[in-house]
Amino acid sequence: KNQVEQSPQSLIILEGKNCTLQCNYTVSPFSNLRWYKQDTGRGPVSLTIMTFSENTKSNGRYTATLDADTKQSSLHITASQLSDSASYICVVRWYSSASKIIFGSGTRLSIRP
């Protein structure tokens, strides 16, 4: 069964600290993986996209990694800011007879001053 699991479910850190969010998937054959940021009361916004051949990709203070062999991805946030408080959702696409997409349940990140 194709699944996307994220951990932790929630995380609280102090402003300025770093953190890493995890995403494990069982999807096959893999197409690409995106990390989205969803602020409270808003729709998700894409942070990064990674394909099979990419190991790491950065977007400012956000760095995503992908290990396609172990089917794991992580999102590392450096020098966290209060505005980083949001849910971070891992989204995996695969292709069988048609393109498919599955969302993880997200990690709720809270940054405290």
Partner 1 sequence: DTAVSQTPKYLVTQMGNDKSIKCEQNLGHDTMYWYKQDSKKFLKIMFSYNNKELIINETVPNRFSPKSPDKAHLNLHINSLELGDSAVYFCASSPEGLANGEQYFGPGTRLTVT
What is the binding site for partner 1 (CB under 8 A)? Answer: 31-32, 34, 41-46, 49, 87, 89, 93, 95, 98-101, 103, 105-106, 108
Nearer to partner 1, 62 or 79 (CB): 62
CA angle 25, 30, 32 (to 5 degrees): 90
Q: Supply the minimum distance, in Å, between the C-beta of residue 62 and partner 1.
A: 15
Q: Supply the minimum distance, in Å, between the C-beta of residue 28 and partner 1.
A: 16
Gap between the Cα atoms of 110 and 113, Å rounded: 10
Nearer to partner 1, 3 or 18 (CB): 3
Contacts of 26 (CB under 8 A, 6+ apart): 1, 2, 3, 4, 71
Gap between the Cα atoms of 68 and 40, Å rounded: 31
Nearest by Cα to 35 from 78, 83, 87, 71: 87
Q: Supply the minimum distance, in Å, between the C-beta of residue 36 and partner 1.
A: 8
Nearer to partner 1, 70 or 97 (CB): 97
Q: Supply the minimum distance, in Å, between the C-beta of residue 51 and partner 1.
A: 9
